[in-house]
Structure 1
Amino acid sequence: MPSITLNQKLSKIPENISLADPEFHRPADVDILIGAEFYYELLGTGKIRFPGQSAILQETDLDWIVAGRYTQPRTAPISPMQASCNLIKFQDLPILWELEPENPNKIRSREEKECESHYVKNTTRDDSNRNVVKLHFNNKKDSLDDSRNTAFQRFYALERKFEKNPSFKSQYTECMQGYLTENHMSLIPSHLVSNKGYFLPHHAVVKESSITTKTRVVFDGSAKTSTGISLNDTLMVGPTIQEDLFSILARFRTFLYAMTAGIQQMYRQIRVAQDNSLFQKILWRPDPSEPIKIYSLNRVTFGTACAPFLAIRTLHKLADDERESYPIASAILKRDFYVDDLLTGAHTLQEALELRNNLSTLLNKGSFNLRKWASNHPLYAMICRMKPQLRTDPSTRQKQ
């Protein structure tokens, strides 16, 4: 596509040529991008050059196209001009895509400031060093009303799906059992059950391409109560505090030793304060012959509006808390994570190994586990998959 309109009369295109795009001389939106796997299959053998131009007419299966550099003929005399250039060393140039440091005075909305202040004041660590956060409600909290009926209707609909697909039921039950086994949800005794708070409907998201868990349980914080207000309507979302994906990917491509990993169940490694758990109640039973029981989710829950901010902010807090002990890993934790996915690297194998070990140790201090390591270097990828003692034992590493 040209950036300015070209004079088509000056192109001198033969009359017997049928163009794939008769309006090639006008700037317009791109309709389709054709990848390299198909592009060369479309090319024909015909080629015609424009007189005095480097642009050509190229035959394709889609008719002829104009390709290459086309210089608009000038109608006015060209003024002479002199130019000079100096050669400089590449390493003296700054990285062109490097971003400026984050401005601490970045303008934020009143709600975003409240979210940050609320997080700082109310986040603690329990005896196991796990972070405990509180949900941040807005002024619509008192408008929450009955959510129990909707939760029951959705749960009965889920059980009807179980009847039609036993395999799906088995996978879903396994996921819910994981919540119980790992103490990520707790049974509410019958004498303490009330309609206060909020019942979260839940359903499954199936991802066949996943190499770990193909069926995941998703909780619906946007389900309306009898007043038309949902839990998500009452929660403050929080500011975006992670780097944009383009910057992370651009930096990722500069490393000689690139590596990726993911935090296992990141949201579920962060506890929610006990007095907030009544807003994360769910219905569950593994079999229709059993009575439906009411549980409360005691971890940050995917499907609630504030979950992304709470999770990412907790990672940043961990980086700040451990900056003195792990300065490089702490910087990477705040810079090279997109939600729970790590995209980083190093320029030497030794640096990559140290970074891998320090990141794992740092995240373990916040009860997070990095897994699914991968690298562009086969030796490094092999080391990442080793057991921790093999990676840290110098004698073992030397033998390998």
Structure 2
Amino acid sequence: MVDSASQPNLITVRMAHMLRLKRNNVNVTIQGAGQMSKLVRESVFTQIKSRKENFCCGVNFLVMDKVTANLPSQNISTTGWKISSELFLADPSFNESQHFHTFFPNATRVQLGGQLPMLIDSVFGWIVAGSANSTMCTDSTPHSYRVVAVSMLSLEESLERFWKTEELAVRDKYSVQERQCESFYKLTTTGNNEGRYIVRLPRVPDFEVMLGESKSSALRRFEQLERKLEREPKLKEGYHEFMREYIDLGHMRQIENSKNDDFPVYYLPHHPVIKDSSSTTKLRVVFDASAKTSTGFSLNDALRVGPVVQDELLTLILRFRTYQVALVSDIAKMYRQILVHRDDISLQRILWRFSPHSPIQIFELLTVTYGLAPSSFLATRTLQQLALDGVNNFPIAVTAWQNNFYMDDFIGGTQSIEDAIHLRKQLTKLLAKGGIELRKWTSNKLAVLSGLRGDQIGTQSVLTFSPNETIKTLGICWEPEPDSLRFDSEIISNDEQATKRTIL
């Protein structure tokens, strides 16, 4: 069945079984007429060949129990159609009730006349499509209807669908690839003497084949960056300050240029991102692991992303409204508190120098790095692991930790000031076990913040929830004193008239 409105290719379970095709696990939702959805768990790959021409192409199919009802919905009489016997029909039984563009190289059409369907030439043979006059079995009046018509389900089929809808089934929220990523994390994650976690970068099976040469491209990007920094002294100052801090904190180290590059290496281009709303770091250096190598694949293409392990932001905010005493904080440099295994740091190399007159140096980033596909998973999953490891000593903190974190933001609370102070202290001790520091504490009750240093207390008038750079449009603000949420907008200035055009 050729369907010009269909995005995926579909095959029935029965056909895939008959052809003995190898099944692959997928997690895809198919949406059809009326926005009805169907979850598909398997796919197959096979070839389509024409019985008429020397045409062949490889196609991925999603596997479904049934693709469609019988088309046409009933047999159609073709008496008087006068289809030439010289035409090779793609489907000789097109008129019997039974179960793109690359297919039409010539697009030749033959009209049968009147209200009869047309014939369209394709690589599979001539396709019959269009309207046809026929007599419905329940009525003697002629009706014109589409050959490719949607038939109504029988009562038996409707009842069967109802029972299937009511069936209980165990659904794994992770795809096969995400489950493999989770297993890889559990198998490879370790710790050091300081309590910091050491993680591995999850790779796809063809990792070494996909990853090509990247140094020359990173060098060109660095030279462009350096010229930009020379043109903007203020930006250069902030960039240099960020990189010096990276070195001083031991988050990256210099290596010799002559170091062996025979094993997999990747050079990360980098660029600045400026966030004026941040109360701590206005300028952040972001590393581009999506830059293509000589093979056409990037590091991100060769790494697994990993599943989402935290609740959605809306869920956290709704839960946040149930607490009488609100408590908000965030983690200082969350990604950089987690170390990357020594066998993977060669994939996090950068080119850098503080002066254009000095030779370009090679550095390796030693911690989880912004811009890598699995970084978000590695960071948030490590927070969960920290909670699991501390469940016996910090039970209150662990429960809050698992339910009230979004990326590096803690958005929680309790029902009393005493419980909030106890929760704050337990959270601080729990994170300290993993070398992680909570900062910018804020509450709607100032008594909760007693005993904290000034540099540990966040803004006490307005706190903007900023999960990460990729979700900047949320714009949700919390006012601690009245304990209210609001949206701030800078679309209209005070001296500008509000019109539809300016708002859009």
RCO comparison, higher one (Cα < 8 Å, 6+): 1
- 2:211 matched to which residue of 1? 144
Residue 243 of structure 1 and its aligned partner are, at CA, apart by 0.8
Q: Which amino acid aligns with 1:250?
A: L
- Distance in structure 1 (CA, Å) of the matches to 2:402 and 2:300: 26
- Distance in structure 2 (CA, Å) of the matches to 1:107 and 1:381: 38
- 2:195 matched to which residue of 1? 129
Residue 191 of structure 1 and its aligned partner are, at CA, apart by 2.8
Q: Secondary structure at the match of 1:117?
A: helix
- 2:324 matched to which residue of 1? 256
Q: Are positions 1:265 and 2:333 aligned together?
A: yes
- Distance in structure 1 (CA, Å) of the matches to 2:439 and 2:352: 30
Q: What TM-score do you get using the length of structure 1 for normalisation?
A: 0.69
Q: How does 1:61-80 map to 2 (within 5 A)?
A: none
Change (3 A) 1:289 1:172: same
Q: Are positions 1:219 and 2:281 aligned together?
A: no
Change (3 A) 1:344 1:357: same
Match of residue 267, structure 2, among 199, 202, 212: 199
- Distance in structure 2 (CA, Å) of the matches to 1:156 and 1:174: 19
Residue 213 of structure 1 and its aligned partner are, at CA, apart by 1.1
Q: Are positions 1:116 and 2:182 aligned together?
A: yes
Could you tell me whether the CA contact under 8 Å between 2:266 and 2:348 is conserved in 1?
Answer: yes
Q: Which amino acid aligns with 1:344?
A: G
Change (3 A) 1:116 1:191: same
- The structure richer in helix per residue is 1
Could you tell me whether the CA contact under 8 Å between 1:140 and 1:233 is conserved in 2?
Answer: no
Residue 193 of structure 1 and its aligned partner are, at CA, apart by 4.8
Residue 382 of structure 1 and its aligned partner are, at CA, apart by 4.8
| 1:337-357 superposed Cα distances (whole Å, 9 cap, x missing partner) | 000001001111100000000
- 1:305 matched to which residue of 2? 373
Residue 161 of structure 1 and its aligned partner are, at CA, apart by 0.9
| 1:289-333 superposed Cα distances (whole Å, 9 cap, x missing partner) | 110000111100010000000001100001000001111101111
Could you tell me whether the CA contact under 8 Å between 1:138 and 1:234 is conserved in 2?
Answer: yes
Q: Secondary structure at the match of 1:343?
A: strand
- Distance in structure 2 (CA, Å) of the matches to 1:387 and 1:221: 34
| 1:362-387 superposed Cα distances (whole Å, 9 cap, x missing partner) | 01101110001111123324544469
Q: How does 1:87-98 map to 2 (within 5 A)?
A: none
Match of residue 172, structure 2, among 106, 113, 117: 106
Segments of 5+ residues of structure 1 without an aligned counterpart are: 1-102, 389-400
- 2:424 matched to which residue of 1? 356
Match of residue 251, structure 2, among 168, 184, 188: 184
Q: Which moved more, 1:288-297 or 1:136-145?
A: 136-145
Could you tell me whether the CA contact under 8 Å between 1:200 and 1:280 is conserved in 2?
Answer: yes
Q: Which has the larger radius of gyration?
A: 2
Match of residue 242, structure 2, among 172, 175, 187: 175
Could you tell me whether the CA contact under 8 Å between 1:373 and 1:385 is conserved in 2?
Answer: no
Residue 139 of structure 1 and its aligned partner are, at CA, apart by 2.2
- The structure richer in strand per residue is 2
Could you tell me whether the CA contact under 8 Å between 2:240 and 2:354 is conserved in 1?
Answer: yes
Change (3 A) 1:167 1:386: closer
- Distance in structure 1 (CA, Å) of the matches to 2:260 and 2:403: 43
Could you tell me whether the CA contact under 8 Å between 1:187 and 1:294 is conserved in 2?
Answer: yes
Could you tell me whether the CA contact under 8 Å between 1:374 and 1:384 is conserved in 2?
Answer: no
Match of residue 315, structure 2, among 233, 242, 247: 247
Change (3 A) 1:346 1:385: farther
- Distance in structure 2 (CA, Å) of the matches to 1:197 and 1:235: 13
- 1:295 matched to which residue of 2? 363
Could you tell me whether the CA contact under 8 Å between 1:115 and 1:238 is conserved in 2?
Answer: yes
- Distance in structure 2 (CA, Å) of the matches to 1:381 and 1:352: 9
- Distance in structure 2 (CA, Å) of the matches to 1:382 and 1:217: 34
Change (3 A) 1:121 1:289: same
Q: Which amino acid aligns with 2:371?
A: G
Provide the alpha-carbon RMSD of the alignment. 1.7
Change (3 A) 1:257 1:371: same
Could you tell me whether the CA contact under 8 Å between 2:290 and 2:298 is conserved in 1?
Answer: yes
Q: Secondary structure at the match of 2:429?
A: helix
Number of residue equivalences: 286
| 1:86-138 superposed Cα distances (whole Å, 9 cap, x missing partner) | xxxxxxxxxxxxxxxxx996342111111111000100001111100000100
Q: How does 1:342-353 map to 2 (within 5 A)?
A: 342-353=410-421
- Distance in structure 1 (CA, Å) of the matches to 2:170 and 2:314: 21
Q: How does 1:27-46 map to 2 (within 5 A)?
A: none
